[in-house]
């Protein structure tokens, strides 16, 4: 598939645009302390790097993997508190984008390329990242599995294509779910090789792999 000029780009958030650990790690430790204080969980706290390794998955699937025996009440509490605490960290200015993300998106925007985000995260978190990192001036709309209740990123991206009537968008992401969403929807896929969370095999089916975010501009 050739990289003909896109009319839009759909970006994953965690590990693609945003350094998730900049707001996650502190929130993760605090949420687990709170869930224990509430008496909802008494087991060991899974190391945060296990959560990192699952980023890109739906939250239900993450907890099935790292907290398989936890109750629904435990998982619901953690989901709620993680979002609140991460958004608080975003409001405090702790959120960090990857190098050159903002400038690159601004250039793409000036070229008339429509920009969207698609994440398997919860709505308040995804919209919070876009707002508090200043990307809301160039991102046209944020789509999340939390808001649209999509069973996979394949479905979420398909929804974007249909709702926005896109003709030739690119999919940009760092995890297998991003590549799968692009491939199964017939999109040109840019794999992000700079993310620290992924296994490189996850993105080997991308059309091209970039080592820095601003390399996207060289593909146009």
| Average pLDDT score over residue span 100-114 | 97
Across the range 32-41, mean pLDDT stands at 94
Nearest-angstrom CA–CA distance, 159 and 76 = 26
- Chain-wide mean pLDDT for the chain? 94
As a whole number, mean pLDDT of residues 171-186 equals 96
Task: Check residue 2 and give its pLDDT.
Answer: 46
The residues pairing with 171 across neighbouring beta strands, listed in sequence order, are 10, 189
pLDDT at 185 over 80: yes
The predicted-structure confidence for 65-82, as pLDDT tens digits, reads as follows 999 999 999 999 999 999
In terms of Cα–Cα distance, which of 141, 202, 143, 136 is closest to 173?
202
> For the chain, which residues make up each domain, given as ranges?
8-19+96-219, 21-91
**Structure tokens given for 46:** 């899974």
Question: Given this model, what pLDDT does residue 10 score?
Answer: 98
Query: CB under 8 Å, gap of 24 or more: what pairs does 29-38 form?
Result: 30/81, 30/85, 31/77, 31/78, 31/81, 31/82, 31/85, 32/78, 34/77, 34/81, 35/74, 35/77, 35/78, 35/81, 38/77
pLDDT at residue 59, rounded to an integer:
87
Query: How is domain 8-19+96-219 classified at the architecture level of CATH?
Result: 3-Layer(aba) Sandwich (3.40)
Residue-level pLDDT at 1: 45
Of 159, 171, 128, 180, the residue nearest 23 (C-alpha): 128
| Confidence bin at 195 (pLDDT 50/70/90) | confident
Cα gap 98→196, rounded to integer Å: 11
- Helix (H) / strand (E) containing 171: strand 169-173
Q: Is 14 within 8 Å of 77 (Cβ atoms)?
A: no
Q: What pLDDT band is residue 198 in, cutting at 50, 70 and 90?
A: low
């Amino acid at each position: 598939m050739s990289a003909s000029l896109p009319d839009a780009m759909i970006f994953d958030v965690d590990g693609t645009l945003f350094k998730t650990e900049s707001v996650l790690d502190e929130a993760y430790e605090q949420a687990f302390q709170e869930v224990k204080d509430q008496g909802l969980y008494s087991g060991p706290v899974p190391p945060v790097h296990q959560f990192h390794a699952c980023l890109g998955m739906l939250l239900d699937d993450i907890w099935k993997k790292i907290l398989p025996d936890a109750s629904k009440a435990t998982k619901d509490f953690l989901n709620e508190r993680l979002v609140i605490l991460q958004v608080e960290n975003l409001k405090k200015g702790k959120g960090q984008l990857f190098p050159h993300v903002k400038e690159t998106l601004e250039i793409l925007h000036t070229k008339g390329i429509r920009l969207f985000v698609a994440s398997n995260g919860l709505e308040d978190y995804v919209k919070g990242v876009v707002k508090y990192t200043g990307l809301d001036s160039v991102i046209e709309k944020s789509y999340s599995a939390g808001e649209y209740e999509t069973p996979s990123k394949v479905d979420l991206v398909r929804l974007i294509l249909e709702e926005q009537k896109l003709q030739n968008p690119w999919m940009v992401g760092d995890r297998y779910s991003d590549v799968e969403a692009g491939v199964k929807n017939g999109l040109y896929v840019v794999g992000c090789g700079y993310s620290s969370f992924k296994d490189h095999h996850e993105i080997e089916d991308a059309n091209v792999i970039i080592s820095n975010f601003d390399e996207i501009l060289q593909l146009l």
